[in-house]
Amino acid sequence: MTIKPKEPLASVDYYMVGISKLPGFDKPIKLSSNESALGMSPAAIEAARQAINKSHLYPEVDTEALAEALAERYRLDPARMAFGPGSDEILQRVVNTFASPGEELIHSKNAYMQFPIYAMLAGAIPVAANDLDFHYDVDTILSHVNSRTRIVLVANPDNPSGTCLPADEVRRLHAGLPRDVLLIIDAAYEEFADRDDYESGTRLVHEFDNVIVTRTFSKVYGLAGLRLGWCYGPVGIVGSDRSNYLKRSQKLCFRLRGEA
Ligand SMILES: Cc1ncc(COP(=O)(O)O)c(C=O)c1O
């Protein structure tokens, strides 16, 4: 007898991170992971420098100051935010929270490669919906919905396909889902969406109680190594009530108290 990981984990593929070797360059940035070519802002470097001095203390669990700052920046409700070390970790935590073994998570076939992995880590079944020349196909996604479906996960804009769904398509997708199916909108690249008909998923969060949006400091703020992500969702799921799982389980890998 040998120890073995749980059965579904045997089929989990490694996530392929971008190769960072280029002759003549010491440490090239990974454009495949959308690392910033501009680096961190000097203000972020200074805040991190100060924060590192307090690393013997556990990170702040009440992330109110950060939530207030983000709420002001994006005109959102701080009570609907929860945080984690990167949006990847939050996505995994959300999927783990809502999908049980045997239940299904639908994603688009050529979308962010981690989506099926989140499902498998939760023991759930990833269902890949065919796309249309790398563009999400809302009708095909909806055709896969059945009584086992718990989550539909879209990245908008998506990586690596580089595609972006307009507001009316996201709303059509949401309208086609039963109320007990969670629509997760991974908006790691929201700040880069340049189409006029793009709509922030946060608007849907204000209108419906089955939508969660994830965001990150990794891309637009060039802070990938800091691992700071956040999500925006129904108060009953991510809200400040400490009985909420997402809030209770939020951990930060970097200090956020005061100046950071
Ligand atoms: C579509 C998408 N979502 C989420 C992430 C995760 O970003 P992070 O965990 O750094 O917040 C990435 C990073 O490459 C991504 O491309």
* 180-238 pLDDT, tens digit each: 999 999 999 999 999 999 999 999 999 999 999 999 999 999 999 988 999 999 987 87
CA of 247 to the centre of ligand 1 (A): 20
Min mean pLDDT across 130-134, 166-170, 226-230 is at 226-230
Which of 15, 40, 93, 159 most suits a substitution to test ligand 1, by most atoms within 8 Å of the C-beta?
A: 159
d(CA 121, CA 116): 9
Q: How many domains does the chain have?
A: 1
| Domain span holding position 121 | 80-260
Q: Is the pLDDT of residue 3 over 70?
A: yes
- What DSSP string runs through 12-47? PPPP-PPP--BTTBSS---GGGT--SS---HHHHHH
d(CA 115, CA 121): 10
Q: Does residue 54 fall inside a structural domain? A: no
CA of 188 to the centre of ligand 1 (A): 6
CA of 256 to the centre of ligand 1 (A): 21
Q: Does residue 9 fall inside a structural domain? A: no
Residue 255 · residue 55 · CB < 8 Å: yes
CA of 42 to the centre of ligand 1 (A): 23
Q: Does residue 254 fall inside a structural domain? A: yes
Please indicate, yes or no, whether the overall pTM of this predicted structure exceeds 0.75. yes
Q: Does residue 55 fall inside a structural domain? A: no
Please give all residues whose beta carbon lies within 6 A of any atom in ligand 1, as ranges: 33-34, 86-88, 112, 155, 159, 186, 188, 216, 218, 224, 229
Q: Does residue 56 fall inside a structural domain? A: no
Q: Does residue 105 fall inside a structural domain? A: yes
Q: Does residue 59 fall inside a structural domain? A: no
Task: Give 254's pLDDT tier (boundaries 50, 70, 90).
Answer: very low
Q: Does residue 68 fall inside a structural domain? A: no
Q: Is the pLDDT of residue 253 over 60?
A: no
Mean pLDDT, the chain, rounded, equals 87
The atom number, within ligand 1, closest to the CA of 224 reads 10
Share of the chain above pLDDT 70, in %: 87
Which of 34, 36, 94, 218 most suits a substitution to test ligand 1, by most atoms within 8 Å of the C-beta?
A: 218
The string of pLDDT tens digits covering residues 155-167 is: 999 999 999 999 9
Which residue's CA is the closest to the ligand 1 atom numbered 1?
A: 159
d(CA 255, CA 116): 31
CATH code for the domain in which residue 209 is found:
3.40.640.10
d(CA 5, CA 226): 30
Q: What is residue 245's predicted lDDT score, i.e. its pLDDT? A: 60
DSSP β-bridge partners for residue 83: 230
Strand order across the beta sheet in which 229-232 lies: 81-84, 229-232, 211-216, 182-186, 149-155, 104-108, 125-129
Helix (H) or strand (E) holding 160: none
